[in-house]
Amino acid sequence: MKSSKLLRLLSSLSAWELRHFRDFVYSPFHNKHEGIRQLLDILMKSYPEFEAEEVKKEVLYAQLFEGAYRLQPLSDVASGLTKLLEQFLGLSAYQADDFYPTFYLLDELKARGLEKEYSQHFRQLERRLPQDAYYQHFLMGEAYVDDLAKKKNRATDGRIEEVSRNLDFYYFRTTLRFACERLNRQKVVAVDFDLSWQEQVADHISSRLEAFEADAVLMVYYHSFRLLQGKGEAHFKALMHLLQTRAARIPPNQLPEAYGYLLNHCIRQINQGALAFRQTLFELYQWMVEQRVIYKGKWIAISHCKNIVTVARQLGKYQWAEDFLNAHLISIEPRFREATYAYNLATLRYEEGRFNEALTLLQSADFTDIFYALGAKTLLLKIYYQEGAYEALTSLLDAFTVFLRRNRLLGAVQVARHRNLLKLTRQLLRLKLRSLYSPVEDKVLIVLKEKVEAQKQLTERDWLMREIGRMLKEVEE
């Protein structure tokens, strides 16, 4: 049961949420099944780790039922608890929303003919809506206009204009937001999207920029769209300025998207040789840490953790990176915590030349995340080479090749970059082994160096160039 949907859902709850969920389960309005209540109480004793031995089906069954173990009764109770937890999460999200509960209440009040109560709640809801909540204002305006139309009241022209304006702003935001995502996808997969209409929307905004500049969210997607089109650094700087000065006006669920476009731009520039963007990338991540944008719910996204340590390491900020890891260790999801900490610390120890410590860290963890597994294998490859463990390196190259061939979760670009690393490392290793017995001609090394320089899809290019450079230096001496 360790990997069940129920335990994954329970693990996602904070301690506060778990206590409230228990109240929910014990409420007779939501649940009258005593077995479901008992199962929750048993599982709460193992929260949040849910150790495998404690949540074995046979162990749980013995605490809930009499007689020999049978799967069906336990499955029925677990299924009932899972459905209640999903209801709790949905209802919690609904109740936390500041608009829709009251908006749907208006429908009920109208249907029941409670005009006075309807008007009172309508005015209160309108007053507390943020000015730039265009879609919600559109829904309110639409309801108001429909209500007047049913009463055959002709005094709706001004409100119709307002409804239309709110819908326009919402449409512009949404159109450019999805246009950004399509452009972003276009850079990853080989597909062309027709964005001619979205281009016209962006041109319209550009021609009347002063009329739209007050809308921070619209400006985020306008500048993101232009940035993804490759329209110049002015849009990169404008987007950075927006996120620095007006982040409070942007919905929290949309901040990661905006930062993502900036991060991807920096990474593309770095990959093209503009290494000065590493410092910009580092500063962006610092802002994201301060604003908690790197979090997914209550946990830090482990991909961000890896990227933050990587860019800090590339800038030589080893102590900062280690301090970051230690300070945020508790914020890494428990099932990924050990591996995330081990891998990232191992990369720092490798850069410090402490190869044995790096190797011990890598061997101490089980890398279940595919990208961490990929990174760990790549780091092992470098350590084996540095330490002269050539037999171990040869075995790793073979196993790594099989890993890339069998794994379907990796994108084509990632696979190509690592396959080329393995191919070039094999060539480097052959030359290294040959050099142990006889001198290697510099022209052979120069040919390999040119292959590394010419290969567009390649990870660890700097490492390969550095090792080839060392062999060339040995030949010259």
The pLDDT > 70 percentage for the chain reads 96
* Neighbouring-strand partners of residue 296: 299
Of 422, 431, 413, 420, residue with least CA distance to 467? 431
70 and 26 in one domain? yes
Q: Are residues 50 and 134 in the same domain?
A: no
- Alpha-carbon span 224 to 248, nearest angstrom: 18
Instruction: Please give the average per-residue pLDDT across 365-379, as a whole number.
Output: 94
**Is position 260 within any domain?**
no
211 located within any domain = no
Q: 174 Cβ partners below 8 Å, 6+ apart?
A: none
Report DSSP state, residue 331: G
Residue 145 structure tokens: 């206009």
Q: Are residues 10 and 85 in the same domain?
A: yes
Confidence of residue 253 (pLDDT cuts 50, 70, 90): confident
Which residue among 96, 114, 135 closes a domain?
Answer: 96
The answer to the question of residue 75 being in a domain is yes
- Give the whole-angstrom CA distance, residue 294 versus residue 414: 23
Task: Find the angle CA(198)-CA(199)-CA(202) to the nearest 5 degrees.
Answer: 90
Picking from 269-273, 416-420, 442-446, which range would have the lowest pLDDT averaged per residue? 269-273
Average pLDDT of span 189-212: 83
What is the tens place of the pLDDT at every residue in 142-177? 887 777 666 655 555 566 777 777 888 889 999 999
83 shares a domain with 105:
no
Give yes or no: residues 34 and 130 share one domain. Answer: no
134: pLDDT confidence band, cut at 50, 70 and 90?
confident
Identify whether residues 88 and 136 lie together within a single domain. Answer: no
Residue 257 placed within a domain: no
Do 68 and 121 belong to one domain?
no
Query: Looking at the 3D structure of the chain, how many domains does it have?
Result: 3
State yes or no: pLDDT of 339 exceeds 90.
Answer: yes
Residue 205, in any domain of the structure: no
Pairwise CA distance, residues 424 & 435, whole Å:
17
Q: How far apart are CA 393 and CA 388, in angstroms?
A: 9
pLDDT score at 44: 94
Q: Which of 179-193, 238-252, 289-303 has the lowest mean pLDDT?
A: 179-193
Indicate if 84 and 133 belong to the same structural domain.
no
Average pLDDT over residues 396-422: 91
Q: Which residues does 266 contact at the CB level (< 8 Å), separation at least 6?
A: 277, 278, 280, 281, 284
- Report, as an integer, the average pLDDT of 268-276: 83
Same domain, 38 and 118: no
Contact 401, 422 (CB under 8 A): yes
Q: Which of 96, 121, 153 is the last residue of a domain?
A: 96
Domain that holds residue 429: 369-477
- Predicted confidence at residue 267, as pLDDT, reads 87
CA distances from 424 to 270, 272, 455 (A): 22, 20, 10
> Is 460 within a domain?
yes
Query: Do 386 and 475 belong together in one domain?
Result: yes
The answer to the question of residue 262 being in a domain is no
Flag whether pLDDT at 1 surpasses 70: no
Decide if 305 is inside a domain. no
Reported pTM: 0.68
75, 96, 117 - which closes a domain: 96
Say whether both 31 and 9 belong to one domain: yes
Do 473 and 379 belong to one domain?
Answer: yes
